[in-house]
C-alpha cells in the first residue's frame, strides 16, 4: 500500500530564554509546559513547531559577557537548517534592555526591524519562498527587577519594556508582518521579574494559536 504523504506547516519560534522556557527551578520548563510545546499540542500533527530559544539572545547586539547571543548572527543559520518554513514567530527584545547596552525602546525596535528584513530577504533554497512572520513584543519587566538574581537588568528596564510594544509594532507594520503584544496576556514571575511561569506560558500559547491559524489556514 502506498503511504500517503502529509504536508506539514513548519513554524520557527525564534527567541530568548522565554522561548527556551527557562525556570529557576530545574533550568527549563517541560515541553508540554513551554508555550512552544503547548502551541504544538494545540495545533496538532499538521503543524511542526520548531523551538529556537536561547537564553540571553538579543536582536542585533553583541553581549560582552554571554558570547554567541547576537540574534542577527544566528538567525541565518536557523533559517537555512529548518528550511522550508511557513511561519517565523519572532519574540526578542528583553535582553536588549540589559543596562550595559544602553538601549531605549526605539533602538530595540530598530533591532527587530533588521531581523525582519533579514527574514524577508534571506536567499532561501530553490523553490522555497520567504515565510510569513508573526512579531511578538515581549512581556514587561517586573517591578522588583532590582532584586532579581539577574543583575544585568536595572530598574530603568521596567519603563523601557513598557514602551517596546509601540516600537516593535511599528517595525512589524513597516515590514508588512503580523504583530502581537505578549504583555497583553502574560507577564514575568515574581521570583526574578523576567521569566514566565507555567501559567503565563499557557496564556501566551492560547493567544498565539488563533493567530497562527489566521496566518496559515
Residue 41: what pLDDT? 98
Phi first, then psi: give them for residue 181, nearest 5 degrees: -100, 105
CA atoms within 13 A of residue 182's CA, in its CB half-sphere? 32
Q: What's the alpha-carbon Rg for the chain, to the nearest Å?
A: 17
Residue 26: what pLDDT? 74
Whole-model pTM: value is 0.96
User: Which has the closest alpha carbon to 135: 181, 101, 94?
Assistant: 181
* CA distance to 3, 33, 44, 213, per residue, from 41 (Å): 24, 10, 5, 14
Does the structure show a pLDDT above 90 at 17?
A: yes
pLDDT level of residue 176 (50, 70, 90 thresholds): very high
State which fold the 9-216 domain adopts.
Rossmann fold (3.40.50)
User: In DSSP terms, which residues pair with 133 in a beta bridge?
Assistant: 88
Place of cell 531581523: 115
- Domains of the chain, by residue range, sit at 9-216
Amino acid at each position: 500500500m502506498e503511504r500517503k504523504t502529509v504536508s506539514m506547516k513548519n513554524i520557527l519560534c525564534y527567541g530568548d530564554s522565554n522561548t527556551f522556557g527557562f525556570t529557576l527551578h530545574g533550568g527549563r520548563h517541560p515541553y508540554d509546559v513551554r508555550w512552544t510545546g503547548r502551541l504544538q499540542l494545540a495545533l496538532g500533527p499538521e503543524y511542526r513547531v520548531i523551538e529556537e530559544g536561547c537564553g540571553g539572545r538579543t536582536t542585533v547586539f553583541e553581549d560582552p559577557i554571554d558570547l554567541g547571543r547576537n540574534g542577527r548572527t544566528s538567525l541565518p543559520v536557523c533559517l537555512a537548517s529548518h528550511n522550508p518554513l511557513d511561519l517565523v514567530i519572532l519574540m526578542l527584545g528583553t535582553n536588549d534592555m540589559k543596562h550595559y547596552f544602553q538601549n531605549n525602546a526605539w533602538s530595540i525596535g530598530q533591532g527587530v526591524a533588521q531581523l525582519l528584513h533579514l527574514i524577508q530577504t534571506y536567499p532561501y533554497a530553490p523553490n522555497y519562498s520567504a515565510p510569513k512572520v508573526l512579531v511578538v513584543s515581549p512581556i514587561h519587566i517586573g517591578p522588583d527587577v532590582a532584586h532579581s538574581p539577574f543583575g544585568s537588568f536595572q530598574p530603568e528596564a521596567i519603563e523601557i519594556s513598557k514602551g517596546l510594544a509601540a516600537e516593535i509594532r511599528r517595525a512589524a507594520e513597516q515590514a508588512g508582518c503580523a504583530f502581537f503584544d505578549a504583555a497583553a496576556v502574560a507577564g514575568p514571575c515574581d521570583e526574578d521579574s523576567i521569566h514566565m511561569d507555567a501559567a503565563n506560558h499557557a496564556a501566551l500559547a492560547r493567544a498565539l494559536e488563533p493567530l497562527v491559524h489566521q496566518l496559515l489556514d
